[in-house]
Structure formats: C-alpha cells, structure tokens
Amino acid sequence: MRGHLLQAGVKYCSARRILTKASAMEGKKVLITGATDGIGKHTAARLAKLGATVLLHGRNQHKADEAAKEIQKKIGGQGHVHAYAADMAVLGQVRELASRVQKDHPSIDILINNAGVFPERKILTEDGFEQTWAVNVLAPFLLTSLLVKSVKERIINVSSISASSRIDFDNLNQEKGFSAHNAYSLSKLAMMMFNTELATRLSPPPTANCLDPGTVNTKMLLQGWGPCGIDIEDANHELYLATSPDVANTTGQYFVSDRPRRMPSIVQDISARQRLWNILEEQSGETFPE
C-alpha cells in the first residue's frame, strides 16, 4: 500500500513542473547534507545537472570527495560540485561545517537538510544525545540556525510518513528504553514541528517546507523495513521542492508525493512547538537569530 502510494506520487510528480533545462539552476547554490549516497546523492546529481553549484556534504571527507568527483564527471561542465565533510552527530563539527560554507559561499540559495540515520541500537554521541535525535533533529536545527541569514530562497527539511503522531518530552533521548523505530518516528515528527515553527518565524524568503522523500530503496529503508520502495533514480520529491516554481512562495507545508498533506494535530499545537524549539536551542547551544 505504502509503496503503491508513493509510486503513484512519482507519476504525479512527472506531470508537475520540475525544471529540466540544463541551465535552469545556473547561478544557484545548494547545500545538501547526507549526499554521498541514496536520495541525497541522487538529488545532488540532478541539481548539478541543471547547472547549480552543489555543496555536497558527507560524514567522511574521502567519501564526499569521491561522490563529488563522480557527479562532476557524469554532468561534465553543466554545474559545479564541492565536497564538505562533518559528522552530524557531533555539534562541534556541525558548527565547523556552517563556518566553512559561510567562508566559501557567503550566501546560498537553497538548504536541504537531508542527512539522517536509523541506528538499530542506542548510541550516545559525544555530546550525550541519542544518535537518531542528534543527527535527524539537532544537527539540522543547529545548521539551519547558523545559516538561515545566508539562505536566500528555500529551506527544505526531510520528515517522513513514518513520523509519530505524539511527542513525549520526557523521552526525547530514549530515556524510557530504546526502540529504533520509535526513535526514528519521533525524530521525523520533531522535524515537522521544527519546520512549522521555523516558517512562522521567517518572513519569506526563504521559505521553509518539509516532506516525505518517498518510500525509496535506500540503505536506511532496507535496514529498517526491507525492500518495499521505489528505485532511487525515481526519487525526485526533494528535487521538486528545491526547483519547482509551483512552490516558490509556499511555506510551512508538509509534502507527500509533491502535494501538501495534513500533519499530526500536535504539530498545530503552538505551545508544544515552542516547547520543542526551546529544548532544541538549549540542547544545541544556539539561539536562532530574530
């Protein structure tokens, strides 16, 4: 059912406006995290092929360099790909990534918070946070807070149709016992709440939207659920949000198969969103600029 729904979404996507001209993104700069494989790498390649300058992030510098070289070779002279490395589980490295990006590119057009993990056991980061929470929630919150004034057009946050419908503020760090699926679902609900609150605090541009990237046979999906999705080459939902003129002025929405969808009722709870926001500021040690 789930795979069928999102395969239908791919067909719908093809009927909507995704830029295809090789120079369509020329002059645009896009930072995409977690782009050394899977949907992130596919999206990075598509954006570069459209002429964008892609700032490709990976956890390992060698792997990021190899991915950048591979994409650059494939697209020829259409775009430019630059590799950056940082362990998103380490807040200090997230800060260093933001600093390097700002030094090299004082402004960027699009930020795609794509990086994510699905660890099967509880792992605490060196900052003391459960790894799923650290990578899937804290890292994008911190990176966005550090770069938000540099982003000119769009911020895209990756959530999931697997997101939970409730949040236990006393179990954000899996204090009550670890479940890989619960930790992941919690992190994706938190990204919806973060994105919605972010959109209320921004005066577009930039816009801020989140999405389910599709049920795609990535390493993460195979690890958590098995082969139940579509091919990576068909996963163009992040590309749609990054390039389509249809959503250029849309903000604060959650997209599934390129269409806005209702979010869990807790996302509409202003006090809950603000409580989460305050926790993320405290955990990250960073206050969002006004």
Q: Is 206 helix (H, G, I), strand (E, B) or coil?
A: coil
Residue 13 has pLDDT above 60, yes or no: no
- Does residue 158 lie in a domain region? yes
State if pTM tops 0.85: yes
Helices (H), 20-179: 38-49, 61-75, 91-104, 131-133, 139-147
Residue showing tokens 């990054």 = 242
Helices (H), 76-168: 91-104, 131-133, 139-147
Within 10 Å of residue 287's Cβ, how many Cβ atoms? 10
**How many residues would you count in the chain?**
290
Predicted confidence at residue 2, as pLDDT, reads: 33
| Number of domains present in the structure of the chain | 1
- Does residue 230 lie in a domain region? yes
Identity of the residue numbered 185: S
* Token pair belonging to 197: 């609150």
CA–CA separation, 121 vs 123, rounded Å? 6
* Token pair belonging to 182: 């619960």
State the catalytic residue, choosing from 84, 184, 240, 254.
Answer: 184
Predicted confidence at residue 14, as pLDDT, reads: 38
Residue 235 has pLDDT above 80, yes or no: no
Predicted confidence at residue 132, as pLDDT, reads: 98
In this prediction, residue 276 has a pLDDT band, given cuts at 50, 70 and 90, of: very high
- Does residue 290 lie in a domain region? no
- Does residue 56 lie in a domain region? yes
- Does residue 289 lie in a domain region? no
Residue 5 has pLDDT above 70, yes or no: no
CA 114 to chain centre: 3
In this prediction, residue 219 has a pLDDT band, given cuts at 50, 70 and 90, of: low
For residue range 156-181, what is the model confidence (pLDDT) as tens digits? 999 999 999 999 999 999 999 999 99
Residue 233 has pLDDT above 90, yes or no: no
What residues make up the domain containing 20? 2-284
CA–CA separation, 251 vs 156, rounded Å? 10
Cβ neighbours of residue 226 under 8 Å, at least 6 residues apart? Answer: none
Predicted confidence at residue 22, as pLDDT, reads: 60
Q: Between 111 and 26, where is the model more confident?
A: 111
Active site annotation includes 184: yes
List the CATH number of the domain containing 141.
3.40.50.720
